[in-house]
Structure 1
Amino acid sequence: MHNGRLLTLVGGIFGLVGLVLLCVTVALAASAASFLASAQQTDGTVVELTEETSTTRNRDGFYRHTTVWYSTVEFTVDGRQYSFRSSHGSSPPAYAKGESIPVAYDPDNPYDARIASFWSAFIGPMITGGLGVLFTPIGTILFLKGRRSTGRRT
């Protein structure tokens, strides 16, 4: 396979992955924004921090332990208590046990609740968007270089 064709192929794959990531970003951001726009807000309390440790082995044979903390939050709506576990963990813990934090919940289904912070709502779109913004131009540049290189050889 010629160098130009390889660059075209790799560039096309990178560009396509970047565009897919950007589409996923739009969908995730729209979903989070839609939920927050229709959600009610209240204060909740962090009642528990759950520690999850994962172990991976690197190329040198050494084991690496990674610990992530997830918050369990309780809140009250119309005299009834609800709780949920945050979907995003952090290290160190983002909140302390007993800390009061804002909660957004679906008024028709309070079991559907999330921490009402920009970071919690938009971390997914920020990650996929960042990768999409990185992959798309790199893919485009590689694709165009490959096409130019292939065009000179024929």
Structure 2
Amino acid sequence: MAKKKYSINWENDEADSFEVNGIKYESLDDVPDEKDRDKLSAMLHAASEDEFEEIKFDEKEFEELRKSAENPGMEKIVLGIFSGVAALMILISVISSFSAIQKISKEETAPGRVVEMTMRREYVNEQDRIVNEYYYPIVEFIPIDGRKRTVQLSEGSSTPSYEKGDEVTIAYDPEHPLDARIKSTGSAMLMWILPSITGILGLAFAGGVFVVKKVMAV
């Protein structure tokens, strides 16, 4: 007995008609033989499963591509660098703050007098030979060891902040009396420049990392 030939005709990914030994039927219900209907039904079911598996694979592949696009390696590297910079800046800020507090707590004070204002020219732009003039006070004071000291301070200004003969209060390290400053708001603020700048930068980098991570998580 010759084997029957079965086929399914497709249109737009849908079964359009069925054939048994070349005889065309518009639907499965039109096939008169029950065994023929079962065979065609099994073929249709198998074709549907194959299509489902293909779609399932495509969705998985798309999901992997989506995750890859959302979390690219370069972004992770950049975030790692920014996180490292933030941690370093905050660490420097903490250490320099501790150092400033420790230095202030050790300082002793003594009355002093400005004996001279010295002027220094410093290049602002060496290529164009642009210079600025800065004035630095030279002070005289007697620390706790009783020996008179004369020190040129590192607190310069573009205009003379003091005049010769001005009475000032000197804050100094008793173990190193030449490490001295005129006790003032300006000199105190200078001690907090490094902690402030590094702290702000550290928080800015940390904030940037936090915002980017939140955006990537959406």
Residue in structure 2 matching 1:8, options 79, 91, 98: 79
**Equivalent residue for 1:35, pick from 101, 106, 111:** 106
**More moved, 24-33 vs 72-81:** 72-81
Partner of residue 97, structure 2 = 26
Among candidates 149, 153, 159, match of residue 86 of structure 1: 153
Tell me the SS of whatever aligns to 2:148: strand
**Structure-2-length-normalised TM-score:** 0.54
Residues 49-81 of structure 1 show CA distances to partners (whole Å, capped at 9, x for unaligned) of 1222221338xx634312222111012468753
- TM-fit CA distance, 1:99: 0.9
The one-letter amino acid paired with 1:55 is: Y
Supply the RMSD in Å over aligned alpha carbons.
3.1
Higher relative contact order (Cα pairs below 8 Å, separated by 6+ residues): 1
Q: 1:49 aligns with which of 89, 114, 117?
A: 117
Structure 1 unmatched ranges of 5 or more: none
Q: Which residue of 1 aligns with 2:163?
A: 96
Is 1:139 aligned to 2:208, yes or no? no
1:47 aligned partner, one-letter code: V
Please say if residues 50 and 69 of structure 1, whose CA atoms lie closer than 8 Å, have aligned partners that are also in contact: yes
The structural deviation recorded for 1:130 is: 2.0
Distance 2:84 2:97 in 1: 20
1:97–1:6 CA distance, 2 compared to 1 (3 A): farther
Tell me, yes or no, if the aligned pair for 2:90 and 2:203 is still in contact at 8 Å: no
The count of aligned residue pairs is 146
Large movers: runs of 4+ above 6 Å: none
Q: Does residue 130 of structure 1 match 2:196? A: yes
**TM-fit CA distance, 1:136:** 1.9
Q: Percent identity?
A: 24
**In structure 1, distance between residues paired with 2:179 and 2:82:** 41
Change in 2 beyond 3 A, CA 1:131/1:109: closer
Which amino acid is the alignment partner of residue 45 of structure 1? R
Q: Identify if the C-alpha distance between structure 1 residues 142 and 105 changes in structure 2 by more than 3 Å, giving closer, same or farther.
A: closer
* Higher strand residue share: 1
CA contact (8 A) 1:5 1:147 kept: no
Quick one: which amino acid aligns to residue 140 of structure 2?
A: E
Q: Which runs of 5+ in 2 are unaligned?
A: 1-71
Give the secondary structure class of the aligned counterpart of 1:72.
strand
Greater displacement, 6-15 / 106-115: 106-115
Residue deviations 1:115-137, cap 9 Å, x none? 22343244122x11321332122
Conserved in 2, the CA contact under 8 Å of 1:47 and 1:98?
yes
| Residues 10-40 of structure 1: per-residue CA shift (max 9 Å, x gap) | 522441242133123323322332222xx1x
